[in-house]
Structure 1
Amino acid sequence: MTRARTRAKDLDSPFRGVRTATVADDLEALCRAYAARMPTTQYFSHTTGALLWEIPLPRRLEVEPLLHVSSDAGSQPPRMRGIVGHRGATTAARTRHNGLSVAAPCDAWCQTAGLLTLDEAIIAGDRLVGWPRPLSTLDDLGRAITAFGARPGARRIAVARTWIRERSASARESRLRLVTLRAGFPEAELNGPIALSSGRNTHGDLVYRRYKVLLEYDGEQHRLDGHQFATDVNRLNDLSEDGWIVIRVGKRMTDLEVLERLERALRSRDWTR
């Protein structure tokens, strides 16, 4: 490619020394553009690393236009338009993800936690050990927190770890679990397996097994997909025949309404505070 061609107006220049045939207008495209010139001593980290792992973050961080890149300990952090450079810690682990060099999931979570509220950190942490495809184990998370030491956000991630649970399938489930726990209800199983007398096996979003009560998120896709809708009807009928109370939670339901319905259901099964 000639020098004149690199200055052509039909090419985009997201970073110094990089040209792309199309505008890099999403996170992964920007990361791939920078990766074309990124030395082996650098890797994507902090919020950029978390988003590459699809760890749920609040909207204000999802739309941040800058990439966060860490360098190995002893190497100079990058200084470039569009890049936030960080001096990496010797304890941070990195790995390859979709062909990119990225901080390991637990390390990216630790690096990001200082920018999150406690609940946001818990919800993001639930994704690390979520269901059905966890990114890490609770042991991995514990090791990363220990290695993170006393850096900014350390106290928050230590508190968040006490609230993180395995098997959450979505940020909404994690948030609902926190709402019910703080309202004084028993802790539910997340996506707990249920064997039905019909011979089918299923699971519930939040399962109160002792009381045979379920909290279920009712997503739009379940009503728009005819096959899924029919499956859901059969499943709910089977649960009802086996004596389960199913509380379906819609996105327009308030927390108060959910909690009132849950309290009535649990009390009908002899639960007391």
Structure 2
Amino acid sequence: MQERCNQANQEREKPLIYSHITALALLGAELPKQTRLSTNALHVAVRNNNARYQQQGIKRLRWSNGAGLDQPYIVGDVQCVPPAVAWAQMAQYLTLSELVVLADSLTRRDKRMKLCERNDFVILLAESGLFWGKQKCKKALRLMKEDTDSSQETRTRLVLRQHGLPDMEVNHAVYDDAGDHIWLLDMAFPDQKVCIEYQGDQHRTDKHQYRQDNIKQRHLRDMGWAVICATAKDLSSAEAKLDLARSVAKALHMRLPPKLTGVCRYLLEEII
């Protein structure tokens, strides 16, 4: 991506400020899974429609808000908007769920993958003017969790919220009886001792990971935890999502609400 952007800059007198998906790629972020924005062209932020680019392969996207354009990030020899700004720019092209997934991915627990903090989003929304999707960003901010480990874990958490289940902790720490070993739970309701563990393909194909998962689950159950494992199949259809939510609700000794309100309703609507 840096090479493509450098090449595009050589054909212009003034360097471009890259934005949206191009900025995310330059920053090394995990790219959105589903978006209405084409990924073939290089995305460039401009303040108004008069800033026209006739250059082939460049997609000019109006960003009248201007946040991030005066003090862009420098990646190699290329300029791009900061991570929080790229996230806000994507609100127009992502569902609410995927906007939350993107926010979580930018604030990973792994310091090598962490590009910003939740407070960066808070400051951006507080200090910037109006832009398309700002209200959606505010809703996403209520749903995001800092220091998560994977986008599929986030999608699992949002599916449960979508069906009316209460908020849950992420990476909740549990110590064994001796107090010398710690288990991090993907998603947990600590008071009820119920946890949800997302298992990707590597949990099945990697023998070491498979054994570690079994040991972890055995110890958790010995300590009285109800462990519910979720996979990609549980997120593959409306019926599968509902079945997963019912299993978690049963472990919590509660029923799914017949009528959704607040953030649960927002997730269900999935307005772009």
TM-score for the superposition, normalised by structure 2: 0.78
- RCO higher in structure (CA 8 A, sep ≥6): 2
Unaligned stretches of 5+ residues in structure 2: 235-239, 258-272
Contact 1:70–1:77, Cα closer than 8 Å, also in 2:
no
Aligned with 2:90 (options 94, 109, 112): 112
RMSD over aligned CA atoms reads 2.8
**Structure 1 unaligned residues grouped into runs of 5+:** 1-26
State TM-score, norm by structure 1: 0.77
Could you tell me which residue of structure 2 aligns to residue 206 of structure 1?
187
User: For 1:170, which of 150, 156, 162 is the aligned residue?
Assistant: 150
The offset of 1:42, in angstroms, is 2.2
Q: Identity of aligned pairs, percent?
A: 24
1:9-24 pair list within 5 angstroms: none
2:166 is the alignment partner of 1:183: no
| 1:58-111, Cα deviation, whole Å (9 max, x unpaired) | 3345762111123689x9564310001346654314212355322100011111
Question: Which residue in 2 is equivalent to 1:260?
Answer: 246
Kindly provide the amino acid, as one letter, of the partner of residue 224 in structure 1.
Answer: T
SS of residue paired to 1:176: helix
- Structure 2 residue 62 is matched with structure 1 residue 81: no
Q: Does structure 1 retain, via aligned residues, the 8 Å contact 2:107–2:147? A: yes
Q: 2:5 aligns with which of 13, 31, 35?
A: 31
Compare CA radii of gyration and give the structure with the larger one.
1
Q: Give the aligned partner of residue 246 of structure 1.
A: 227
Q: 1:11 — aligned with what? A: none
Count of residues in correspondence between the two structures: 244
Q: Which residue of 2 aligns with 1:219?
A: 200
Write the letter of the residue equivalent to 1:48.
T
Q: What is the letter of the counterpart of residue 91 of structure 1? A: A
Residue 94, structure 1, aligned to residue 77, structure 2: no
**Secondary structure of the corresponding residue to residue 47 of structure 1:** helix
- Runs of 4+ in structure 1 off by over 6 angstroms are 270-273
Report the secondary structure of 1:91's partner residue: coil
> Structure 1 stretch 152-161 or stretch 217-226: which is displaced more?
152-161
Distance 2:98 2:42 in 1: 20
CA contact (8 A) 2:72 2:81 kept: yes
Structure 2 CA distance for aligned equivalents of residues 208 and 98 of structure 1 = 43
Distance 1:69 1:257, change over 3 A: same
SS at match of 1:80: coil
1:201 maps to a residue whose letter is: I
